[in-house]
Amino acid sequence: MPFFIIAGAVNAALAVALGAFGAHALKEKLSEHYLAIWETAVQYQMFHALGLIAIGILMSSSLLGPISQLNWAGWLLLAGIIIFSGSLYILSLTGIGVLGAITPIGGVAFIIGWIMLIIAATKFTS
């Protein structure tokens, strides 16, 4: 099952919808500061949705196959989307500043996910 392709496509669609929601429905309700935070959440969700799709394609093709590092990379990017973008969406809507302390956990998940993809690629080439 191409789970990461589906998860990536769902997140890409959500990013487009949430971006439009922010640009139209929230434009008059949020300050410029919180609207910029919302836009950051949308951008990172979309970037990492595309990463999930790439990981899913690599796992489903014979190019890199089901290397365990690819699986880890996919789960870490998905967790990063939920924690990083999710905390920023909630922060934008509520103004609860403590949520900003959670966001870096998602950022670390993103970084480790990309490192796992690098490791998977180097195992393939060696």
Q: Is the pTM of this model over 0.75?
A: yes
At 48-66, the pLDDT tens digits run: 999 999 999 988 876 655 6
Cα–Cα distance between 1 and 17 in angstroms, integer? 25
Write the CB contacts of 112 (distance below 8 Å, at least 6 apart in sequence). 76
Give the helix/strand (H/E) hosting 6: helix 3-24
> pLDDT value at position 83?
98
Average pLDDT over the chain, rounded to an integer = 93
Please, is 56 exposed, middle or buried when counting C-beta atoms within 10 Å of its C-beta (0-12, 13-18, 19+)? buried
